Each structure stands twice: as C-alpha cells, then as structure tokens.
Structure 1
Amino acid sequence: MSAFDAFWHVTNLLAPAWGVSVLLALLMRLVWRGQRMDLRKMVVWGGLGGMLAIGLALVLLGRDGKMAGYALLLTGVSLPQWWLTRR
C-alpha cells in the first residue's frame, strides 16, 4: 500500500465520525433554536469523540464495520455535544 492509499484509507475510516458530528450539531441547532450554541465547538468536540470511539472500537472489536462499533461511534459523537449543551 502506498502512502497515498494509506492516507485515503485513514481518511475514509474517520469520515463517518466527522460526518455524524456535523449532522448532529446542525440538527441540535435546529431543534433548540432558543439556545445559543457554538456550532464549530460542537462539531470539533463531536468529531474528536467520534475518532476516539472508532479507535476504541478497532481495539476492542478487532475490525471496522461491526454494529457495536457504530453504536460506540454514535455514543462518542453525542456525549461531547450533550456535555456542551449542558453548560
């Protein structure tokens, strides 16, 4: 595998974390219009939590693409965003 292929492999592995983070932040902003939320902060913390969850799923489950890994991804994205809306 070349360096270019490895780059795209890792990018595609982490893309769901950032995609779910952006979608969840936008939906939270639509649902709670009265609250003032920093969208960039929510996306960044959600994306980092999702990346951590994907890494943890790879360690625990041994491979990507299992349903438990996706559940861990959703938990990893939603917990930081929930924490940011609490304050």
Structure 2
Amino acid sequence: MGPVDLFYHLLGFVAPAAAVAAWLVLMGLMLGRQNALAIPWYGKFAINFLVGVVALGFSALLLGRDGKMLGYGVLLLACATSQWYLGRGWRA
C-alpha cells in the first residue's frame, strides 16, 4: 500500500467520525441550551471528532476490522455522550 492509498484509507476510516461530529455540533447549535460549556463550535467539533476516532479505533481493535455496525453504534454512543457532557446535560 502506497502513501496515497494509506491516506485515502485513513480518510475513509475517520469520515464517519467527522460526519457524526459535524451533525452533533450543528444540532447542538440549533437545539442547544444557553447553559452549555463556553467552547466555540470548532472546539466542540474537534472534541467530538477525537472521541469518535478513538471509539472507531477501539471498536476496530476489539472486533478485528472496521466497518461493522457494532463499531458504528459505539461511535454514536461515544459521540452522543461527549455532546451530552459538552451541553451540560446533567444539569437538566
């Protein structure tokens, strides 16, 4: 595998995490409350993206390969928990 192929493979691996992070930040801006943590939208995106990449990496390590539905479920659960924390969901 050459460097270009490796780049495209890694880009395809992290694309679901980027999509989920972008969707959560967008919905958080539209539906969020005012008592959320004072982090700009790109900071929330970066946090959710990193949490998503770690969740995908953990699930790929545990399951033996990426792209399984259980891995995507772990991604959604991890990013939703991160967004809940960033939005101060425990103070409802």
If the length of structure 2 is used for normalisation, what is the TM-score?
0.84
Q: How far 1:40 moved relative to its partner? A: 1.3
Contact 1:21 1:77 in 2 (8 A): yes
Matches within 5 A, 1:34-73: 34-35=33-34, 38-73=40-75
Using the TM superposition, give the Cα deviation of residue 6 of structure 1 relative to its aligned residue in structure 2, in angstroms. 0.5
Which structure 2 segments of 5+ residues have no match? none
Which whole-Å deviations, capped at 9, do the CAs of 1:6-56 have from their partners, x for residues lacking one?
A: 111011100110111011110111112x52652112111000000000000
Find the residue that maps to 1:17 and give its secondary structure. helix
RMSD (CA atoms): 1.6
The answer for the alignment partner of 2:30 in structure 1 is: 30
Give the fraction of aligned pairs with identical amino acids, expressed as a percent: 37
Runs of 4+ in structure 1 over 4 Å off: none
Distance in 2 (alpha carbons) for counterparts of 1:79 and 1:6: 30
TM-score w.r.t. length of structure 1: 0.89
